[in-house]
Structure 1
Amino acid sequence: MSQTDDLSHFHLLFQDASNTWHVAKEGQIQSYSKLGFERLLPSINSSHRDAFIKDHLQTLPDYPYLMNTLIAFIAHSRNRKETARALYIHPNTLYQRLKKVEDETSKCIDQEEDWLNLMIAVSFYKLDIPN
């Protein structure tokens, strides 16, 4: 392999490192290969990300407590007990908030396609807010 071949990959390596840094969770450096679908997020045009967020989260970002509830629910893999504990709220309060999330987004968190779209929209949303 020549030096020219090595330099031709520099741009790709730099882009991978930049993407890894951009989507690192809570400032933790991650291995690029372990990022999963998150490594693809920065390469999606911001106008497409914004449109996806608007289509699937609708007015939810206007309600920070509902966004935080959904983010926690995703982080705890839809485990209601763990999510309520992490948010320091009663499970009934969590149930009410999740109902409001469904109402605001017109999505059902128990329907897989809706859930996947919510998770992707939240990933885009988190990508576009400062850490």
Structure 2
Amino acid sequence: MQAKPSVLIVNSDDEMAHWMSTILGSRGYAVRVAGDGQQAWQQIEWLPPDLLLIDMILPIFGGFHILQRLQARKMRNISTVLFCGMGQARHAHYARLLGAHACLQDPISKDELLELAQKFAPLDNLTDSWAFAS
């Protein structure tokens, strides 16, 4: 059995982070949460996630700084999605230049979150252990 795809949610809004974590965790993702850029970077270095969901504005250092660090360390195997506010087209362009796979406006719906996770960290490849139980 393969490991569950891992997702690191980086958001200083505890309610939003909990909402995302609950939805993704209930679908089978291994979810971790960081409340600021420094915590996020420590977790990325410790155990890089398959999917990184980053809020643009964070305490200590923000989403762009995390993207810059990923780019500098050539960590391109991590799918990254940056969440920014309404009307932030220039931020989306800059995020993509830094290697983000997507830049989306907050808030997103449950369905959008699940589609995003499935696109960048698919669950399809997993084999359920119960399917082989005798």
Larger % of strand: which?
2
TM-score range, shorter chain: under 0.3
Structure having the higher Rg: 1
Larger % of helix: which?
1
- With the length of structure 1 as denominator, give the TM-score of the two structures: 0.27
